[in-house]
Amino acid sequence: MRRRQRATVVAVAALTAMGLTSCAGWGGGGIGGGGPNTINVLMVNNPQMIDLQRLTAEHFTAETGISVNFTVLPENDVRDKISQEFSSQAGQYDVASLSNFEIPIYAGAGWVAPMDDFIAADPDFDQDDILGPMQTSLSYEDHIYGQPFYGESSFLMYRKDLTDELGLDVPERPTWPEVRELAKALDGAEPGMAGICLRGQPGWGQIFAPLTTVVNTFGGTWFTEDWQAQVDAPEFTEAVNFYVDLVNDYGPSGAPQAGYTECLNNLTQGNVAMWYDSTAAAGTLEADGSPVQGKIGYVAAPVVETESSGWLYSWSWGIQAASEKQDAAWQFVSWASGKEYEELVGEEIGWASVPAGKRASTYDNPQYLEVASAFAEPTKSAIEAADPTNPGVQPRPAIGIQFVGIPEFPDLGTQVSQDVSSAIAGRMSVEDALERGQDLASDVAERYLARKAAE
Query: Is residue 44 one of the residues assigned to a domain?
Result: yes
272 with 328, same domain: the answer is: no
Q: Which residue type occupies 79?
A: R
φ, ψ for residue 159, nearest 5 deg: -80, 95
How far from chain centre, in Å, is Cα 147? 14
Compute the distance between CA of residue 13 and CA of residue 172 in angstroms, rounded to an integer.
43
Query: Strand pairing partners for 303?
Result: 175
171 with 304, same domain: the answer is: yes
337 with 207, same domain: the answer is: no
Mapped onto helix, strand or coil, the DSSP state of residue 214 is helix
Query: Strand pairing partners for 67?
Result: 38
Tell me: pLDDT of 287 over 70.
yes
φ, ψ for residue 222, nearest 5 deg: -70, -40
Query: Is residue 158 one of the residues assigned to a domain?
Result: yes
Compute the distance between CA of residue 299 and CA of residue 260 in angstroms, rounded to an integer.
18
Query: Strand pairing partners for 277?
Result: 155
Compute the distance between CA of residue 355 and CA of residue 48 in angstroms, rounded to an integer.
7
* Out of 76-80, 171-175, 360-364, 376-380, least confident range: 76-80
Mapped onto helix, strand or coil, the DSSP state of residue 427 is coil
Q: How many domains does the chain have?
A: 2
End-of-domain residue from the set 352, 373, 394: 373
Query: Is residue 18 one of the residues assigned to a domain?
Result: no
Q: DSSP for 281-346?
A: GHHHHTSTT-TTTTTEEEEEPPBSSSS-----EEEEEEEBTT-S-HHHHHHHHHHHTSHHHHHHHH
Asked if 151 contacts 284 with a C-beta cutoff of 8 angstroms, the reply is: no
66 with 56, same domain: the answer is: yes
Q: How many CA atoms lie within 13 A of 367 on its CB side?
A: 13
- Average model confidence (pLDDT) for the chain? 92
As a whole number of Å, the end-to-end CA separation of the chain is 10
- According to DSSP, the β-strands at 313-319 and 147-152 are antiparallel
pLDDT tens for each residue of 288-346:
899 999 999 999 999 999 999 999 999 999 999 999 999 999 999 999 999 999 999 99
Angle, helices 234-250 vs 208-217, to 10°: value is 130
Q: Which residue type occupies 339?
A: K
Q: How many CB atoms lie within 10 A of CB 279?
A: 27
Mapped onto helix, strand or coil, the DSSP state of residue 93 is coil
Number of H helices, E strands in the chain: 19, 10
Residue 345 to residues 49, 352, 390, 440, Cα–Cα distance (Å): 11, 9, 34, 45
Q: How many CA atoms lie within 13 A of 450 on its CB side?
A: 8
159 with 200, same domain: the answer is: yes
Q: CATH number, domain at 335?
A: 3.40.190.10
Query: Is residue 320 one of the residues assigned to a domain?
Result: yes
Asked if 383 contacts 134 with a C-beta cutoff of 8 angstroms, the reply is: yes
pLDDT of amino acid 47: 86
pLDDT of amino acid 7: 40
Compute the distance between CA of residue 66 and CA of residue 329 in angstroms, rounded to an integer.
9
- Count, residues in the chain: 455
Residue 156 to residues 153, 311, 375, Cα–Cα distance (Å): 11, 12, 11
Q: Which residue type occupies 398?
A: A
End-of-domain residue from the set 345, 373, 401: 373
End-of-domain residue from the set 373, 395, 418: 373
Tell me: pLDDT of 404 over 70.
yes
111 with 228, same domain: the answer is: no
pLDDT tens for each residue of 10-35:
444 444 444 333 332 223 334 444 67
224 with 280, same domain: the answer is: yes
186 with 325, same domain: the answer is: no
Q: Which domain, by its residues, includes 254?
A: 154-310+386-453
Mean pLDDT for the stretch of residues 353-365 = 96
Query: Is residue 23 one of the residues assigned to a domain?
Result: no
Compute the distance between CA of residue 435 and CA of residue 137 in angstroms, rounded to an integer.
31
Query: Is residue 397 one of the residues assigned to a domain?
Result: yes
Tell me: pLDDT of 5 over 80.
no
Nearest to 180 by CA among 239, 234, 236, 255: 239
pLDDT of amino acid 14: 45
pLDDT of amino acid 455: 81
pLDDT tens for each residue of 48-102:
999 999 999 999 999 999 999 999 998 878 988 999 999 999 999 999 999 999 9
67 with 129, same domain: the answer is: yes
What pTM was computed for the model? 0.89
Query: Is residue 9 one of the residues assigned to a domain?
Result: no
Asked if 216 contacts 199 with a C-beta cutoff of 8 angstroms, the reply is: no
Nearest to 82 by CA among 67, 102, 68: 102
Mean pLDDT for the stretch of residues 119-132 = 98
306 with 319, same domain: the answer is: no
Query: Is residue 19 one of the residues assigned to a domain?
Result: no
216 with 339, same domain: the answer is: no
Q: How many CA atoms lie within 13 A of 288 on its CB side?
A: 6
pLDDT tens for each residue of 236-260:
999 999 999 999 999 999 999 999 9
135 with 245, same domain: the answer is: no
pLDDT of amino acid 306: 98
